[in-house]
């Protein structure tokens, strides 16, 4: 009887299979309810007393060998199946990749840059943490000007000469200090003002400001440039310039584009007038040119500035400016098809 058990131990050691059916048949043969192991355990009572110890050890060895063999064969088979699933068919389609979406502010900023690049404007950038000279003094803003009040500007508490820039005109000052005319540049970027946050305003937002300085630049050049811009970006060719005031330009104007009154939305946005204000502009004040070491008797220029956030709200019919900074994926995914 002991010799039969050892014979089966040798057969178990030599057994091999690569199909689940063969492995299951082997398991049933040895480890099943009516398998050989249960048969040998049942014969234990018929074994002579002198051989019981050796017989029991042999049966336990057979049980261990059969159990380990089944486990090893199953693991080897699962490994082959998994490898085939991953690497078997290299021509199958890959898992789809989730595409991200550009932020609406980035979309509009890129559109504005593209329009002005067509007429020779380059892009200039500067620091968001500025000093008093570049943000105010060089732009003809005296110390008593309301725009320098603590209610409008975020100052650094430990150094009142350092602040968060309130406009990207500070970039224009830096550009004029390091470049000689002719100058034709736009300066997009984030700016900060101490304002109450609501559906129409925020304490930080994005601007793009333009500057053109050369010999013989006139207000007519400014108007023609803005005419080209509004037609290219909005598809609206009718604009008007209303007299206004900015410390760094003289004369100054507000720019309105005729949006029309074709829909109920048009009436709401334009308050029934059909006209929509989009930016401010003007001829660069001679004092600004002097502060930047440019001779106002030889050169003249114009500047303009607009809020990118407001343009984004307008173009994409967004009702609340706070949506632009809340990083709500449900909102941002709506711009996947945009440029």
Segment 127-132 mean pLDDT: 94
> Which of residues 61, 87, 113 is at a domain's end?
87
Distance of CA 332 to the CA centre of its chain: 9
Mean pLDDT of all residues in the chain? 86
Ranges assigned E (strand) in the chain: 122-123, 129-131, 155-156, 159-164, 183-192, 204-214, 239-246, 249-258, 275-284, 300-307
Rounded CA-CA distance 265/252 in Å is 30
- CB of 282 closer than 8 Å to CB of 249: yes
Instruction: Show the domain range for 226.
Output: 104-335
Look at 93 and 242; give whichever has higher pLDDT.
242
**Residue 65 binned pLDDT confidence (cut-offs 50, 70, 90):** confident
Task: Answer yes or no: do 271 and 236 share one domain.
Answer: yes
Q: Is residue 331 part of a domain?
A: yes
The verdict on 242 and 145 lying in the same domain is yes
Mean pLDDT value of segment 149-153:
72
Shared domain for 116 and 258, answered yes or no, is yes
Domain boundary among 25, 55, 87: 87
* pLDDT score recorded for residue 186: 97
Whether the pLDDT of residue 116 is over 60: the answer is yes
pLDDT higher than 90, residue 253: yes
Distance CA 96, CA 143 (A): 58
> Tens digits of per-residue pLDDT, 81-93?
555 555 566 777 8
By three-state DSSP, how is residue 124 classified? coil
Contacts of 253 (CB under 8 A, 6+ apart): 241, 242, 243, 244, 280, 281, 282
Q: What is the pLDDT of residue 297?
A: 95
C-alpha distances out from residue 204 to 60, 151, 182, 201, 251, Å: 78, 14, 32, 9, 28
Q: Which of 87, 112, 146 is the last residue of a domain?
A: 87
Residue 93 included in any domain: no
Indicate whether 225 belongs to any domain: yes
Same domain assignment for residues 29 and 157: no
Q: Same domain, yes or no, for 215 and 72?
A: no
**Is the pLDDT confidence value at 109 over 80?**
yes
The pLDDT value recorded for residue 80 is 63
Which pLDDT does position 82 carry in this prediction? Answer: 52
For residue 99, tell me if it sits in a domain: no
Q: Which residues pair with 240 in a beta bridge?
A: 256
Q: The tokens of 301 are what?
A: 């220029």
Residue 263 within any structural domain of the chain: yes
Work out the pLDDT band at 70, boundaries 50, 70, 90: confident
What distance lies between CA 242 and its chain's CA centroid?
37
Minimal CA–CA distance to 191: which of 103, 51, 305?
305
Q: Is residue 76 domain-shared with residue 136, that is, in the same domain?
A: no
Element (H, E) at 59: helix 52-87
Range from 31-40, 109-118, 212-221 carrying the lowest mean pLDDT: 31-40
So what's the pLDDT on residue 152? 83
Structurally, how many domains does the chain consist of? 2
Dihedrals phi, psi of 209, to nearest 5 degrees? -120, 145
Mean pLDDT of all residues in 67-82: 76
Predicted pLDDT at 42: 73
Q: Residue 98 falls within a domain, yes or no?
A: no
pLDDT top residue among 132 and 81: 132
Q: List the CATH number of the domain containing 267.
A: 3.30.930.10
- Per residue in 19-46, pLDDT (tens digit) is 888 888 888 877 787 777 777 777 767 7
**pLDDT, tens digit, 9 for 90 and up, residues 160-209:** 889 999 999 999 999 999 999 999 999 999 999 988 888 878 899 999 99
Asked if residue 161 and residue 80 are part of one domain, the reply reads no
Q: Does residue 96 sit within a domain?
A: no
In angstroms, the CA 239 to CA 115 distance is 17
Instruction: Please tell me whether residues 199 and 111 are part of one structural domain.
Output: yes
* Residues in CB range of 293: below 8 A, 6 or more apart: 176, 177
270/207: higher pLDDT: 207
Q: Give Cα separations from 14 to 17, 28, 38, 59, 66 (angstroms).
A: 10, 17, 21, 17, 11
Q: Both 287 and 153 in a single domain?
A: yes
Q: Which two tokens stand for residue 329?
A: 């994926």
Same domain as 82, residue 117: no
Global pTM? 0.69
Q: Are residue 113 and residue 79 in the same domain, yes or no?
A: no
DSSP 191-224: EE------SS--SEEEEEEEEEEETT--HHHHHH
In this structure, the strands spanning 129-131 and 159-164 are antiparallel
Nearest to 31 by CA among 8, 7, 54: 8
Segment 227-238 shows an average pLDDT of 91
Tokens 């034709």 -> residue: 184
Instruction: Give the rounded percent of residues in the chain with a pLDDT score beyond 70.
Output: 92
- In this structure, the answer to whether residues 22 and 143 fall within a common structural domain is no
Phi and psi torsions of 190, nearest 5°: -90, 140
pLDDT at 57: 80
Contact 129, 191 (CB under 8 A): no
- Look at residue 106 in the predicted model and tell me its pLDDT: 92
pLDDT at 285 over 90: yes
d(CA 108, CA 114) in angstroms, rounded, equals 10
Cβ–Cβ < 8 Å for 124, 185: yes
Does the pLDDT of residue 151 top 70, yes or no?
A: no
Q: Which of 255, 309, 311 is nearest to 282 (CA)?
A: 255
Give domain status of residue 13, yes or no.
yes
């Amino acid at each position: 009887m002991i010799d039969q058990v050892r014979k089966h131990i040798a057969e178990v050691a030599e057994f091999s299979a690569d199909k689940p059916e063969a492995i299951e048949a082997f398991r049933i043969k040895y480890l099943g309810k009516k398998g050989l192991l249960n048969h040998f355990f049942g014969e234990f009572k018929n074994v002579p007393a002198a051989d019981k110890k050796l017989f029991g050890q042999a049966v336990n060895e057979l049980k261990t060998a059969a159990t380990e063999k089944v486990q090893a064969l199953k693991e080897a088979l699962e490994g082959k199946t998994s490898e085939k699933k991953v690497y078997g068919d290299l021509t199958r389609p890959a898992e789809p990749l989730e595409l991200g979406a550009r932020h609406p502010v980035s979309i509009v900023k890129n559109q504005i840059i593209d329009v002005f690049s067509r007429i020779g404007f380059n892009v200039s950038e500067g620091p968001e943490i500025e000093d008093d000279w570049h943000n105010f003094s060089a732009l003809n803003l005296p110390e008593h000007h309301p725009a320098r009040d603590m209610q409008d500007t975020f100052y650094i508490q430990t150094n009142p000469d350092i602040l968060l820039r309130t406009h990207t005109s500070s970039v224009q000052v830096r550009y004029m200090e390091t470049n000689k005319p002719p100058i034709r540049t736009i300066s997009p970027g984030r700016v900060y003002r101490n304002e109450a946050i609501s559906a129409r305003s925020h304490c930080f937002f994005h601007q793009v400001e333009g500057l053109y300085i050369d010999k013989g630049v006139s207000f007519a050049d400014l108007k023609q440039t803005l005419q080209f811009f509004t037609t290219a970006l909005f598809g609206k060719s009718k604009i008007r310039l209303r007299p206004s005031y900015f410390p760094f330009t003289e004369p100054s104007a507000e720019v309105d584009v005729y949006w029309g009154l074709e829909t109920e939305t048009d009436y709401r946005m334009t308050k029934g007038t059909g006209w929509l204000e989009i930016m401010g502009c003007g001829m660069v004040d001679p004092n600004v040119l002097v502060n930047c070491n440019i001779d106002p008797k030889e050169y003249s220029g114009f500047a303009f500035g607009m809020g990118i956030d407001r343009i984004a709200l307008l173009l994409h019919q967004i009702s609340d400016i706070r949506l632009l900074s809340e990083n709500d994926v449900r909102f941002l995914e709506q711009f996947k098809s945009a440029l």
